[in-house]
Amino acid sequence: MKKLVSLVFALAMMATFVTTSEASVKFSGDAMVRPRYESYEFKGDFNKQADDLYWLYRVRLHVAADLGEGYYAKAMLASESPGWFAAVGGKGSFPETLAEDFGISQFYFGRMMEHSHYTMGKMPLNSLNNPIFDLAVYPFQPLEIPYFLYNNDRVFALNYGTKVGPGELNATLCVLDNDMQEDDVFEDSYAIHLTYKTNIGDVTIDPQILAAITDSDLIGSHSMYNPVRIVSGVDHRGDYENITPWTFGTNVVIPAGDTKFTLSGFYTYVDEDDVNYDGYLFRVKAQHGPVTAWIDYNSTEDESYGRSDDYANMFVWAQYNYKVYESAMGSFTLSPTVRYLSSEFNNDSIEFNRLRTELWAQVKF
């Protein structure tokens, strides 16, 4: 609670500063209430979970400062819980109140120029629409937007982008952890993310590669976000430390009248002494007016430490956005949403299915 009061006080001080400075600072935010019903189906040896109805909610506050001549700074204050949510009464990884983990979720600054830009800090990744980080960090179950939910769609990084030919080239140095020792100053975990975005007629493509350039600990490869591993009790924590995964692919955006289609394909692999796996992810997405739907499929083969494990995952998302109210001051939206996840382990010997039906009630201000 003291942390929340301190943050509110800091915002008030910033607002006071704005009245006496030349910088343009804007405050905005959003709040959401999300009732969710979860139902499960299991096959195999599981610690089975019961169907449940629970209530999620969140509040996020945004600050954006225009410093002039292209310089800017942005921040987002929110709970440091999965998806920035709390659950009434608490639920799994969701805290009971937002105040328990409220903090600065994102903070980054930089400069926008005519043909280039640079950014540094804890910055958003847009992983909701770009699944390369999902596959790289969660190779055994990269579906249902795990990087967006469990990493809150951000990474500490340095980014530089510039116009090259007809498109834009972006290079991002991602700082994944801090393992530096006195005898090896390059022991920290780094990855480089390269993207080139361009248009071919009306079609937009963004070929990209995400490569670990030093040994990294793959936080999602064990039990953080893999329903098969969680409910079966199998835990290979520590097996996937100090590895260098490579992931590459592209998104292709195709407009077709009032409908926009997005095709995504990515491949990841590690080939080292004890850790050896490879996998792919395909996505087909369509957006038409207020309707958004997509289907994901993933298959990953893991031969690490002499194992021979096969993972197959499918995910379906369907959502309808109904604008209840909108003005220059903000908006109120209702969004019925259906999310279905199916995970299979070793050719159906273990199977996990989860259906989530939700109603998103969100205000933006």
Q: Is 362 a member of any domain?
A: no
For CA atoms 288, 147, 130, 61, give the dihedral sign. Answer: positive
List the end-to-end C-alpha distance of the chain, in Å, as a whole number: 24
The token pair that represents 2 in the structure block: 């003291």
Identity of the residue numbered 263? L
Q: Are residues 97 and 223 in the same domain?
A: no
Judged against a pLDDT cut of 50, whether residue 231 lies above it is answered with: no
Q: Are residues 283 and 164 in the same domain?
A: yes
Q: Is 69 a member of any domain?
A: yes
What pLDDT shows up at residue 34?
98
Identity of the residue numbered 1? M
**Would you say 323 and 333 are in contact if contact means Cβ atoms under 8 Å apart?**
yes
The token pair that represents 267 in the structure block: 């491949």
Q: Are residues 239 and 309 in the same domain?
A: yes
d(CA 254, CA 231): 39
Percent with pLDDT over 90 in the chain: 73
**Would you say 235 and 217 are in contact if contact means Cβ atoms under 8 Å apart?**
no
Q: CB burial class (10 A; 0-12, 13-18, 19+) of residue 140?
A: buried
Q: Are residues 28 and 70 in the same domain?
A: yes
Q: What is the pLDDT of residues 290-334, one digit of tens each?
A: 999 999 999 999 999 888 989 999 999 999 999 999 999 999 999
Judged against a pLDDT cut of 50, whether residue 17 lies above it is answered with: no
Judged against a pLDDT cut of 80, whether residue 82 lies above it is answered with: yes
What pLDDT shows up at residue 161?
99
Identity of the residue numbered 332? F
Q: Are residues 61 and 148 in the same domain?
A: no
The token pair that represents 344 in the structure block: 């299979």
Identity of the residue numbered 185? V
Among 111, 144, 161, the domain boundary falls at 111
Q: Are residues 104 and 120 in the same domain?
A: no
Of 176, 131, 136, the closest CA to residue 156 belongs to 176
DSSP E strands, the chain: 24-43, 52-68, 71-79, 86-87, 102-112, 116-124, 154-164, 167-177, 189-200, 203-205, 208-212, 246-256, 259-271, 276-288, 291-302, 309-320, 322-327, 330-345, 350-364
**Would you say 252 and 203 are in contact if contact means Cβ atoms under 8 Å apart?**
yes
Q: Are residues 145 and 98 in the same domain?
A: no
The token pair that represents 142 in the structure block: 């990269």
Q: Hey, which residues does 26 pair with through a beta bridge?
A: 64
d(CA 56, CA 86): 6
Identity of the residue numbered 71? Y
Taking the CA atoms of the chain, what radius of gyration do you get in angstroms? 21
Q: Are residues 218 and 253 in the same domain?
A: yes
Phi and psi angles of residue 321, each rounded to the nearest 5 degrees, phi first? -105, 115
Judged against a pLDDT cut of 60, whether residue 221 lies above it is answered with: no
Domain count, the chain: 2
5 to each of 1, 8, 12, 94, 100, how far by Cα in Å?
Answer: 6, 5, 11, 21, 12
Q: Is 215 a member of any domain?
A: yes
Q: Is 207 a member of any domain?
A: yes
Q: Is 325 a member of any domain?
A: no
What pLDDT shows up at residue 220?
63
Q: Are residues 85 and 141 in the same domain?
A: no
Q: Are residues 160 and 60 in the same domain?
A: no
Q: What is the pLDDT of residues 235-244, one digit of tens each?
A: 665 678 889 9
> Rounded mean pLDDT of the chain?
89
Q: Are residues 90 and 127 in the same domain?
A: no
Q: What is this structure's pTM?
A: 0.90
Q: What is the pLDDT of residues 25-71, one digit of tens each?
A: 999 999 999 999 999 998 776 566 789 999 999 999 999 999 999 99
> Residue 116: CB partners within 8 Å, gap ≥ 6?
160, 161, 162, 163
Among 79, 111, 143, the domain boundary falls at 111
d(CA 113, CA 105): 26
Q: Is 63 a member of any domain?
A: yes
Q: Is 277 a member of any domain?
A: yes
Among 111, 136, 157, the domain boundary falls at 111
Of 166, 125, 167, 169, the closest CA to residue 147 belongs to 125
Q: Are residues 190 and 103 in the same domain?
A: no
Q: What is the pLDDT of residues 335-351, one digit of tens each?
A: 999 999 999 988 877 88
Residue 102: give the domain boundaries.
1-111
What confidence tier does 13 reach under pLDDT thresholds 50, 70, 90? Answer: very low
d(CA 26, CA 74): 10
Q: Is 350 a member of any domain?
A: no
**Would you say 149 and 58 are in contact if contact means Cβ atoms under 8 Å apart?**
no
